[in-house]
């Protein structure tokens, strides 16, 4: 099965259409005010309306309150939530809604313990650690720290771009790769050529792996 590609930090309907044309499997909308790729709920609804049935919509949240999560589920109607902050397992699971759990690869992290605590149907997204910054760092972590086999979808993020995604797919063999800044011309603005190249290189590397 080909690796799935998630383009995160989509900020307009036009970017959503462009990413879908390039072959993205999932699109991420960031509802986190401190992000340079932030969209509010109303904007997210507008973007959601142009996401076709073959592409999944993911809303990324960071330490949101319960009311906002419920609003996102009701108004945006995403396919998945992505909890990218310090949310507890109890918090994530109370909504009875499928989600991706982000794991920021800090030193000394017990990956097995972290994974066993959550019931993340959408999988676990492994991202670089940065003090006080929840994703979108553009930094790569040591991929050798990741498990070589899992019973959950493994999503690789952190510093990926069109030039290194093929190597990442070959070495890590993730179920999904996730990119944001690595395909941008400026923060929040996706570059058509970079998005197309990222998707193409990821998919072609999967074929080579088989």
User: Catalytic residue numbers?
Assistant: 8, 127
- Give the residue from 16, 23, 126 showing the smallest Cα distance to 82: 126
Structural contact between residues 122 and 150, judged by C-beta atoms closer than 8 angstroms:
no
- Which residue matches tokens 């999560």? 69
Rounded to 5 degrees, φ, ψ at 14 are -65, -40
As a whole number of angstroms, the distance between CA 39 and CA 43 comes to 6
Q: Three-state SS for 203?
A: helix
Q: Please give the backbone phi and psi of residue 88, each rounded to the nearest 5 degrees, phi first.
A: -80, 160
Residue 82: name the closest of 70, 68, 93, 98 by CA: 98
CA Rg value for the chain: 16
- Count how many residues are written for the chain: 210
CA 22 to CA 208: how far, in whole Å?
20
């Amino acid at each position: 099965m080909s690796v799935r590609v998630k383009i995160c930090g989509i900020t307009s309907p036009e970017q959503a259409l462009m990413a879908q044309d390039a072959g993205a499997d999932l699109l991420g909308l960031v509802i986190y005010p401190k992000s340079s790729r932030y969209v509010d709920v109303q904007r997210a609804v507008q973007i959601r309306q142009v996401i076709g049935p073959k592409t999944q919509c993911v809303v990324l949240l960071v330490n949101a309150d319960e009311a906002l999560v419920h609003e996102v589920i009701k108004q945006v109607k995403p396919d998945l939530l992505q909890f990218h902050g310090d949310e507890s397992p109890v918090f994530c699971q109370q909504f009875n809604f499928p989600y991706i759990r982000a794991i920021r690869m800090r030193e000394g992290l017990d990956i097995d313990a972290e994974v066993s605590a959550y019931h993340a149907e959408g999988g676990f997204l492994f991202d670089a650690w940065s003090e006080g910054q929840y994703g979108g760092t553009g930094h790569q972590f040591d991929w050798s720290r990741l498990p070589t086999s899992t019973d959950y979808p493994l999503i690789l993020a952190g510093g990926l771009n069109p030039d290194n995604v093929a190597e990442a797919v070959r070495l890590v063999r993730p179920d999904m790769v996730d990119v944001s800044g690595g395909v941008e011309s400026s923060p929040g603005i996706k570059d058509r050529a970079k998005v197309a190249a990222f998707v193409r290189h990821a998919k072609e590397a999967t074929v080579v792996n088989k």
